[in-house]
Structure 1
Amino acid sequence: MAGVNALASNLLASFARGWATTLLDLGGVNPALWFALFAIGSIAAEPDEAGDARPAMTARDWLVFAAVLGAAFTPIPLAGAVGVFLGGLWMLLRGTKGSRARRIGVIALALTSMLIWGRALLVLAGGPVLSLDAAFVAWLAGTTAQGNLVYFAGEAQPFVIGFGCSSMDNMTLAVLFWAALTQLLRIPLDRHSVLLCMTAMGANLFVNVLRLAVIAHKQQYYDYWHSGPGGMLFAWAGLAVVAVIVGVGCARLADRRA
């Protein structure tokens, strides 16, 4: 419930555009977020196993539950995001290794990478991060950059890389999808799993940098590649690349574990 509250702004904006649009753009919510919520529900519904029965609620559990429930019903998306973080952190600390509580906690904390921490990093260290992003785009496009400005190829006019289109912000998608699938498949968080996450993050970063490099060479089609159908194609391409890398990687890690 706290997670849905955190996504309330996206959902309401999507509903305002009509039911057809809401269905087509999945309520204005990234598919990785829906998959993470699905993974949490699936893990919570798993049958009891030896050593993983639901423990009795303690007074501290009820206190955390009340705080998360309060955050879920506070009509502020940030409150919902904080509730997800609090609940996820508590389950991670409270659960034993491999338990449902700890696995759900990992996914919930990964959710906050997209809901809170990715954006917070850009706000607190946005200048250096966006400048690095712009330099990477300019290098790939063969143009020049100044701060968070990237110059169009053969032109003296630049375009701005803002928080919303930063490649760094999009990497949280890879973290979330990785966390959801690894925990759904009971894959432990070891160095192999972390390396898989970093590979998916790098691939997602490259797809977005490639989109911005295309923009640098297609000034006349800026709107198309930035927020139009072209931008949507790159968004789905980034998600597909992450899904393939994480899916294949998880299959290999599951085989190694067996």
Structure 2
Amino acid sequence: MAAGEGGHATPLLRPAALPWLGTVTLTRQSFFAGMVVVGFANGISEKVYRSVTDSGFAAAIFNTFEISIILWGACFAALAMLLRPSAEQAFRRGDVLVSLLAGLAFMAPVPALSWLGIGLIAVHLRRTASDDTTRRAAAIVFALTIPLFWTRLAFAAFSGTILHIDARLVGWMIGTVPVANVVPLADGSGSLFIAPACSSLANLSLVFVSAAAFVNLRSGRWTLSAIGWTAASAVAVVAINITRISLIGLYPWEYELLHGPIGASVAGWLTFAVIALIGYNRIGFDAPVRR
């Protein structure tokens, strides 16, 4: 099989007869899909362990291991695209190096490094794939790393600025003047400390994952309309988070209700609904599908 542009090709691995599986053909797409599965599983292992330890196995499953349904859905969509029957691509010499580097990241004792390995695989597939379906799947795979790695990195570097923006928005809503990430309560009875877990940034990153998934599942093109609806989704998500925090500032005696499991669940489901509905109904429809 001939190689696409920019690389050398090697033959596909021939079908292997296994008594318990029958005939198995390892294609380039299925090989990297398997790598993504391994990297994703390793990357979320810390969250899964903490979720099971804190709340028990049944509750952890119900809460999807504290990993957004949007991320699970985007991951399954990317894998389905990689495993979709299409023209089989020959292995390239660069695949060995990329898979080796990604494997080393997966084996490191720091789960977060798995996202670097997945990002490397995504960039490599995006650059070297000979069909558009694989390139679009690679874009979704890379989008998975945004909330699970790049957002955390950005927060570590700019947490003060990010939390101050949230505090300014909350202060504007309730009519008080914040200092850094501390917002005085509306009744003057105390102050509200905005912690990193309450930042709008985490939910914003989910907007980008959802938009990337819908764009690449459909047209594969970022049009002005897709960008505009993604921005609208981002504004709505920030508004939900800021409104919840502002309600705590206005009604501090309802802190347990607004900040506890009930308030968190309501805000979480509202955020998911906004992201999913805008993505499903508006993003990715306005450009012809590329084959």
Partners of 1:130 and 1:172 in 2: how far apart? 15
Among 82, 101, 109, the alignment partner of 1:67 is 101
* Corresponding position of 1:127: 160
Using the TM superposition, give the Cα deviation of residue 219 of structure 1 relative to its aligned residue in structure 2, in angstroms.
1.2
Partners of 1:70 and 1:223 in 2: how far apart? 44
Q: Cα deviation per residue 1:11-52 (whole Å; 9 max; x = unaligned)?
A: 11222232220221012211111011111111112121xxxx
Q: Cα deviation per residue 1:102-148 (whole Å; 9 max; x = unaligned)?
A: 11221122111101121221221121221111111111223331111
* Corresponding position of 1:254: 285
* Corresponding position of 2:113: 79
TM-score scaled by length of structure 2? 0.80
Could you tell me whether the CA contact under 8 Å between 2:171 and 2:177 is conserved in 1? yes
Q: Would you say 1:6 and 2:17 are equivalent positions?
A: no
Using the TM superposition, give the Cα deviation of residue 180 of structure 1 relative to its aligned residue in structure 2, in angstroms.
1.5
* Corresponding position of 2:88: 54
Partners of 2:134 and 2:220 in 1: how far apart? 15
Could you tell me whether the CA contact under 8 Å between 1:171 and 1:204 is conserved in 2? yes
Q: Cα deviation per residue 1:74-127 (whole Å; 9 max; x = unaligned)?
A: 34211211112111121222235x612211221122111101121221221121
* Corresponding position of 2:236: 203
TM-score scaled by length of structure 1? 0.89
Partners of 1:95 and 1:199 in 2: how far apart? 32
Using the TM superposition, give the Cα deviation of residue 256 of structure 1 relative to its aligned residue in structure 2, in angstroms.
5.5
Among 180, 184, 197, the alignment partner of 1:164 is 197
- Residues 211-250 of structure 1 mapped to structure 2, 5 A cutoff: 211-250=244-283
2:112 alignment partner, SS class: helix
Partners of 2:221 and 2:88 in 1: how far apart? 20
2:192 alignment partner, SS class: strand
Question: Which consecutive segments of 4 or more residues in structure 1 shift more than 6 A?
Answer: none
Shift of the 70–100 alpha-carbon distance from structure 1 to 2, 3 Å rule, reads farther
Q: Would you say 1:154 and 2:191 are equivalent positions?
A: no
Could you tell me whether the CA contact under 8 Å between 1:64 and 1:86 is conserved in 2? yes
Could you tell me whether the CA contact under 8 Å between 2:70 and 2:210 is conserved in 1? yes
Could you tell me whether the CA contact under 8 Å between 1:39 and 1:181 is conserved in 2? no
Using the TM superposition, give the Cα deviation of residue 255 of structure 1 relative to its aligned residue in structure 2, in angstroms.
5.7
Could you tell me whether the CA contact under 8 Å between 1:13 and 1:28 is conserved in 2? no
2:285 alignment partner, SS class: helix
The letter for the 1-side match of 2:146 is S
Could you tell me whether the CA contact under 8 Å between 1:32 and 1:173 is conserved in 2? yes
Instruction: Report the structure, 1 or 2, having the larger helix content.
Output: 1
Could you tell me whether the CA contact under 8 Å between 1:178 and 1:246 is conserved in 2? yes
Partners of 2:264 and 2:66 in 1: how far apart? 15
The letter for the 2-side match of 1:19 is F
Q: Cα deviation per residue 1:207-248 (whole Å; 9 max; x = unaligned)?
A: 111111111122123233224211121011111111111111
Among 61, 64, 83, the alignment partner of 1:23 is 61
Q: Cα deviation per residue 1:180-208 (whole Å; 9 max; x = unaligned)?
A: 22212244123322222222112111111
For structure 2, the residue ranges without an aligned partner over 5 or more in a row are 1-37
* Corresponding position of 1:41: 79
Q: Would you say 1:178 and 2:178 are equivalent positions?
A: no
Q: Would you say 1:106 and 2:118 are equivalent positions?
A: no
